[in-house]
Amino acid sequence: MEARAVNRYVGTSPRKMRIVIDLIRGKSVGEAMNILHFQPKHAAKDAEKVLRSAVSNFQNKDANAGVSTDDLYVKEVFVNGGPQMKRILPAPMGRAYRMIKRSHHLTIVVDHRTSKK
């Protein structure tokens, strides 16, 4: 059984978030929390919030099983581009440059790690 959490319309570019989430893909939840907590990038705070939400969703979904966070791992994590705001910056000699403010949607899926026999 798996649980997911989605954070939509995050106001940073998807490229900056992908740098952070590549560090936690496939890791256990405890290790991923440590990586995100001590990561200096600003996008790590948003990713940590979404990871905590996914773990909470898993525990609420499977309340009677009592699975600890040590048995969970990050099954999937991906970033999709969101809407872009187009703005105009004044430029020399009466011109205008277009500035694109990007956003993204972050999805994290956690699952219970089954022990191999």
User: 98 pairs with which residues across the strands?
Assistant: 88
- 2-112 under CATH 3.40.50.300, yes or no: no
pLDDT per residue as tens digits for the range 81-111 = 999 999 999 999 999 999 999 999 999 999 9
CA distance 45 to 60: 23
pLDDT per residue as tens digits for the range 24-40 = 999 999 999 999 999 99
pTM above 0.85, yes or no: yes
The domain ranges of the chain are 2-112
Q: Is the model's pLDDT at 69 over the cut of 90?
A: no
CA distance 84 to 9: 10
Reference 108, options 37, 65, 48, 61; nearest CA is 48
Q: Which residues does 20 contact at the CB level (< 8 Å), separation at least 6?
A: 36, 39, 41, 43, 44, 47
Q: Is the model's pLDDT at 116 over the cut of 90?
A: no
89 C-beta neighbours (distance < 10 Å), count: 9
